[in-house]
Amino acid sequence: NLCHGQFNNEDCGHDDNKCHEFNAKYKNCKGLVTNPHQVGDGTCNHDPYNVEACEWDGGDCLERNEKIKLMYPSCTFLDDAILNPQIGNGLCQSKFNIEECGWDGGDCDEYNLKYPDCKSTIPTSVGDGFCDDLLQNGMADNNVKGCDWDGTDCNDYNDEARIKVRENYPSVYEEYPDCPPHEWLVSYIGDEDCDYFFNTEECGWDGGDCEYSNQLFLQYFPNCTAVQYSPWYNDSVCGEILNNPECNFDGGDCN
């Protein structure tokens, strides 16, 4: 006789009285989980089970939580790592890809070795067989030299785009041959407005448009490695790549 969360309410008689024992034992967990019988079943389940109100999944997660705290005491996102089994789950995630979090518990070691200059917000999308270009399809911003043009996934797209840039903007093509070939936006380079997608060394820091703002940004945050995205800073939208102490949590946008 299992207690089902969707019926654990007065109108349903707390699942025909099957949930009374659970409610008495974990009174603050009532209404939080869909499968109450998994609380205290010997397996650590992630959020919302692994929370204080559910006594850390009925004690199932206590050992794991303490292990994470001991291994990564300075991890910026320690609370997130505890609630969800993300560190060391086999998938490299950008927010845990910092030294304090053990490079995501080692999940990002191979990625960092292969693409040491890549700052992808979705590391697992690099080299996945699909061209991830933020301006082209709204996916991760991987179509840059530092990410090896999305692990070569964008090579075909770039080859076609470079032909158009060379034809329509020959001076830009010659001056910035390694700049991502966003043909329909190349005219933005050197227009006196800092555009993050061209704010890279390969694009001459947007043809010089971003040089002053970059210098100012680095004066305040010299350890922030995501200076390309400085135009996103404190724009009231949390930029995940700036969501770290070195970048001041995107000026508070991510708090």
What is the model's pLDDT at position 151?
95
pTM: 0.68
pLDDT at position 123 is 94
Note the pLDDT of residue 125.
Answer: 93
The one-letter code for the residue type at 25 is K
Query: Which secondary structure element, helix H or strand E, spans residue 165, and what is its range?
Result: helix 155-168
The three-point CA angle 6-12-17 to 5° equals 95
Write out residues in the chain with pLDDT < 70, as ranges: 13, 15, 83, 135-139, 183-184
First to last CA, the chain: 43
The phi-psi region of residue 85 (left if phi > 0; otherwise alpha if psi is between -120 and 50; otherwise beta) is beta
39 within 8 A of 29, measured Cβ to Cβ: yes
Amino acid 141 reads: D
Res 110: pLDDT = 96
Say if residues 252 and 234 touch (Cβ distance below 8 Å): yes
Query: For position 255, what pLDDT does the model report?
Result: 77
State the sign of the Cα–Cα–Cα–Cα dihedral 172, 177, 183, 184. Answer: negative
pLDDT for position 184:
66
Closest CA to 203 of 217, 182, 221, 223: 182
Per-residue pLDDT at 89: 83
